[in-house]
Amino acid sequence: MALLSVLARTLPRAPRAGARLVRLSSTERAPPKLALYTSALCVEHDAGMGHPESPERLTSLLALARGEWATKFGEELELREPNVDVTDEQLLRVHTERHVSRMRAAFATAGSKQATLSLDADTRVCPSSGAASLRASGLTVAAVDAVLADGARTKRAFVMARPPGHHAEPDTAMGFCLFNSIMVGVAHAQAAHGLRKVALLDFDVHHGNGGQAMCTEHADRFFASSHQSPCYPGSGNRLGTSGVAGQVLNVPLKPGAGSEQFRTAWADTILPAMAAFAPEMVFVSAGFDAHEFDPLASLFLHEDDYEWVTKKIAETAGGAPIVSYLEGGYEIGALGRSVRAHVKGMIEA
């Protein structure tokens, strides 16, 4: 079942950013409550005219971050744009060597031909996709390092990058996703920082099959997803737990479900299960395509639901560090309002 929609728009590219850290407030007082990691390099990934995972998704969010959000949140939000790319060592913690090699070959072919290549019906690479995807995963690693650094005073980070990643499996790119950036972060937290128990929560409208695949055999990785079912990618259809230690939890929602069903799933099932697991760090696949105006599915959430679930996740995490990563969300106006709600929730909880 293909995920593409015929309705998507593209806008002119944002200017490429250099290596720097940009504060959203000129006055330094308390440390920021949320670090927002991003890069103009991630705008350059372009799957072609009409593809819903368009550069406009990020250009619109960057404009909001530098404008409205800077005014609203001031010194509580800090925009960070480090020039840092993921390494093969970091990718190979969650992806197979064959997958990494195939992706690098696809990037090289797209670059040499100056063409867009289709990996499957939905997933494409262009000459700039390699730089964008390596930077997106690298930003996630940088965010993990920052919130786990000795003496870190900012314990929450949002990686506002693209392409999305939660459908990418160990050996497969799919569903617009090339590398599973949030899982690269999960594995890095464990391998480089020695964390024993981590949680990955996914509220994208589509099941996070890639995250589940990379957590199933790891008893020290809790995974939970709420998502529409039936829907792409066709997995996660059964309510309940699986995994080697029962640490994988899926809560499918029927088409047409809205705020009440979504909030009940999180308040009654997902968050209590995460609390019982007691993770040392929480990761979030933050997809916003369950919004009522999104064209790729049929759930009916509002931006208030994203603020609510973000605050509930943060409250349940207690003082544990949190890193979230932008996944889906394809109606530009709804995406901007929903991401703002997520940022607000991370700051205020």
Specify the CATH number for the domain of residue 254.
3.40.800.20
CA trace torsion 260, 263, 264, 265 (10° rounding): 120
Q: How far apart are CA 226 and CA 180, in angstroms?
A: 18
The pLDDT of residue 11: 33
Pair of tokens at residue 173:
């790119």
Q: How far apart are CA 32 and CA 323, in angstroms?
A: 14
The pLDDT of residue 9: 35
Tell me the pLDDT tens digit for each residue of 311-325.
Answer: 999 999 999 999 999
Asked if the structure places residue 226 within a domain, the reply is yes
Which stretch of 10-14, 76-80, 106-110 has the lowest confidence by average pLDDT? 10-14
Among residues 279, 291, 288, the alpha carbon closest in space to that of 325 is found at: 288
Asked if the structure places residue 2 within a domain, the reply is no
Asked if the structure places residue 149 within a domain, the reply is yes
Number of domains in the chain: 1
Tell me the pLDDT tens digit for each residue of 10-65.
Answer: 333 343 444 455 555 545 568 999 999 999 999 999 999 999 999 999 999 999 99
Asked if the structure places residue 10 within a domain, the reply is no
Asked if the structure places residue 67 within a domain, the reply is yes
Asked if the structure places residue 18 within a domain, the reply is no
Mean pLDDT of 279-293: 99
Of the candidates 45, 166, 167, 302, the residue annotated as catalytic is 167
The pLDDT of residue 30: 87
Whether 85 shows a pLDDT value over 60: the answer reads: yes
Mean pLDDT of 161-179: 99
Asked if the structure places residue 334 within a domain, the reply is yes
Which stretch of 8-17, 244-253, 279-288 has the lowest confidence by average pLDDT? 8-17
Domain range enclosing 301: 24-348
Number of other CB atoms surrounding residue 40 within 10 Å:
18
Total-model pTM: 0.92
- Active site annotation includes 167: yes
Burial of 247 (0-12, 13-18, 19+ CB in 10 A): buried
Asked if the structure places residue 214 within a domain, the reply is yes
CA trace torsion 47, 294, 14, 114 (10° rounding): 0
Tell me the pLDDT tens digit for each residue of 182-222.
Answer: 999 999 999 999 999 999 999 999 999 999 999 999 999 99
